Structure 1
Amino acid sequence: MITTITLNTALDTTYYLSHVKFGCTNRVNKSFVEPGGKGVNVAKILHILGQEITVSGYAAGYNGKKIKHLLSSKNIPHHFVEVEGESRVCLTLMDESSNEETEILETGPVISPQDWDEICVYVEEISKTSKYVVLSGSLPVNCPEDGYAQLINIINKYDSRAILDTSGAPLKQAINNSSPFLIKPNEHEIKELLGKEKVTKEDIIEACQFLHSKGIKNICISLGKDGAMFSTKEKVYHAIPPQIEVINTIGCGDAMVAGLVKGFYDNLTISETLSLAVACGSANALQPFAGLVKVNDVERLKEEVVVNHIR
């Protein structure tokens, strides 16, 4: 079993417009409304790939009810902690003339100390039966800054592995105060950690060695169109993606996380796991919204990913 935890779930709404013009009326050509938040996107991809999963996190108000309804309509099991307020709406405007994406993200509900205690209890319970627990996305208002570190320490008490995909202070807290099995920062987040505006491949390798010294076994750095680097304490790999006609880049990192956890769950080699992860990210880029791939695209693209052992 794999469980994904999304503390700041969302209704992901995607509008496709011929042109996005601010200060005037815009007409939508097509739209999509999906259950979202990074961990939910991971779960949707895993479900498509045939993996048994459960979705959890916080859900609030009408939007929370709709998120649960949409997950049920996809036959994706879920168990949410109900909180006061409203789950957020994340709006993406896709300008078809320029292929530019504009994201407008709401904040989400305010979490009480009791809400936090409840999610900690739930994570402890599911860690007894889930082989992997994926922690993804931002923390909602009033969650402790070291919230992910706390959850990872709970997960590590059992025969379960924590996979973390977040940024900013929650990522730094997790790095310094817990030992996740895997983290997936992107290039921007590595720059923040290093305090540099530009990073080279050697900078990334150096950063990974520092992170390994903190007890993190596996690190995958997503590099957008340049694929991904993957580091263990002993080896470093670079996966180069195939050339594709990109439709949408939102959620590609989440799809990559889904491929990573699926590869580890199925006991694939690191090269096979990385090929699957990059293929999932690329397959998501071929779809009109986040958290969607076609299995035949994943299988085809997986064979086109080039994995180089660079260290």
Structure 2
Amino acid sequence: MKPIVTLTLNPTIDLSTTVDVVTPEHKLRCDSERRDPGGGGLNVARVIHELGGESLALYPRGGPTGDLLEQLLEQKGLRRWSISISGHTRENFTVTERKSKREFRFVMPGPTLAEKEWQALLDSLSSVAADAEYIVASGSLAPGVPVDFYARVARVARKQNARLVLDTAGEPLLAAKEEGIFMVKPNRKEFRDMMGAQVDELAALPGLARAFLEREHAEVLVVSLGADGALLTTRQGQFRAQPPPVETHSSVGAGDSFVGGMTLGLARGLAPEEAFRWGIASGTAALLSHGTELCRRADTERLFPLVQPVRLA
């Protein structure tokens, strides 16, 4: 199997810890911290690697935090290609309140990329993805990156005869879908915003999803529904699956785990509805992990038989 190339525009070092109670104006004595390389594409690459697949991560890095990011990725054993930037790689911070089990997630904007820096990423993508079958672009754009950047990525993918999996939202998604995307994975709110629909009923989503594929240049649409599971729509059929019930420890990276699991399934030649099962299992497995650990292979494989999609159309 050819490596799945992942692209991360705004990587981060994810730091997580736990406190008894989050209160203002007091020193909060934290437990020991955990640091993981993060950002949409890097998380997807981590999941693919954990599940036994091959990935190649492309991302910018800068400053002392960029050096730490390299060390963390080396420890994970990930294949990678980085572009040096003048700014410092960002850090995000997640605190779990032990008493209530609530998560407080603090997300930094990240460094501003100069035109020569984001253009270098685009040029490098043309090189590292020359033989790729799948390219996964996931996460928000870094400050300074033009809103049509993912549309440019879609053009690169089309030129390379690669299938683009895109997990983003807002204007970057709207611009990219005009260029053609193999798979799009918005959440429920992002999908409604994209379609300009003001409906809240779950029953209305299948019709909207079919309408999207009828008028857009995409082959697979997955709408994540949180506790309600996810909806898969292709031109051959439509399926909905519920996640197996588990005790949630952390929701960080559940969406990225889904994308990693499903894309790996597709790259292994599975039908979309079977790859969908691996996506649901991977996303659910991430809930069992603490902090920013993402899904574990053993959990994913144990949950997979419990995922039984229901055909809607």
TM-score calculated relative to the size of structure 2: 0.95
Shift of 1:148: 0.4
AA at the equivalent of 2:142:
P
SS at match of 2:27: coil
**Farther off after superposition, 239-248 or 188-197:** 188-197
Shift of 1:31: 1.8
Deviations 1:83-116 (A, max 9, x none): 1111111111111211211111111111111112
Q: What's the C-alpha RMSD, in Å, of the aligned pairs?
A: 1.4
Aligned residues: 310
**Could you tell me which residue of structure 2 aligns to residue 232 of structure 1?**
234
In 1, Cα distance between the equivalents of 2:181 and 2:201? 25
**Mapping of 1:63-102 within 5 angstroms?**
63-102=65-104
Alignment check: 8 A CA contact 2:64 2:88 kept: yes
Q: Which runs of 4+ in 1 moved over 3 A?
A: 194-198
Identify unmatched segments of 5+ residues in structure 1: none
In 1, Cα distance between the equivalents of 2:197 and 2:97? 31
AA at the equivalent of 1:121:
D
**Could you tell me which residue of structure 1 aligns to residue 268 of structure 2?**
266
SS at match of 2:94: strand
In 2, Cα distance between the equivalents of 1:210 and 1:274? 20
Deviations 1:37-62 (A, max 9, x none): 01111111111111111111111211
AA at the equivalent of 2:137:
L
**Could you tell me which residue of structure 2 aligns to residue 41 of structure 1?**
43
**Could you tell me which residue of structure 2 aligns to residue 165 of structure 1?**
167
AA at the equivalent of 2:175:
Q
**Could you tell me which residue of structure 2 aligns to residue 207 of structure 1?**
208
SS at match of 1:138: coil
TM-score calculated relative to the size of structure 1: 0.96
Shift of 1:5: 0.5
In 2, Cα distance between the equivalents of 1:159 and 1:170? 21
Tell whether 2:40 aligns with 1:30: no
Alignment check: 8 A CA contact 1:38 1:137 kept: yes
Deviations 1:54-74 (A, max 9, x none): 111111211111111100112
Shift of 1:129: 1.5
Identify unmatched segments of 5+ residues in structure 2: none
In 1, Cα distance between the equivalents of 2:291 and 2:269? 29
Alignment check: 8 A CA contact 1:127 1:159 kept: no
In 2, Cα distance between the equivalents of 1:191 and 1:62? 40
Shift of 1:291: 4.8
Shift of 1:245: 0.5
Alignment check: 8 A CA contact 1:238 1:310 kept: yes
Alignment check: 8 A CA contact 1:3 1:54 kept: yes
In 2, Cα distance between the equivalents of 1:202 and 1:173? 28
In 1, Cα distance between the equivalents of 2:266 and 2:293? 20
Tell whether 2:243 aligns with 1:241: yes
Shift of 1:136: 0.5
Shift of 1:257: 0.1
In structure 2, the CA distance between the partners of 1:201 and 1:235, relative to structure 1 (3 Å rule), is farther
Shift of 1:290: 3.0
**Could you tell me which residue of structure 2 aligns to residue 185 of structure 1?**
186
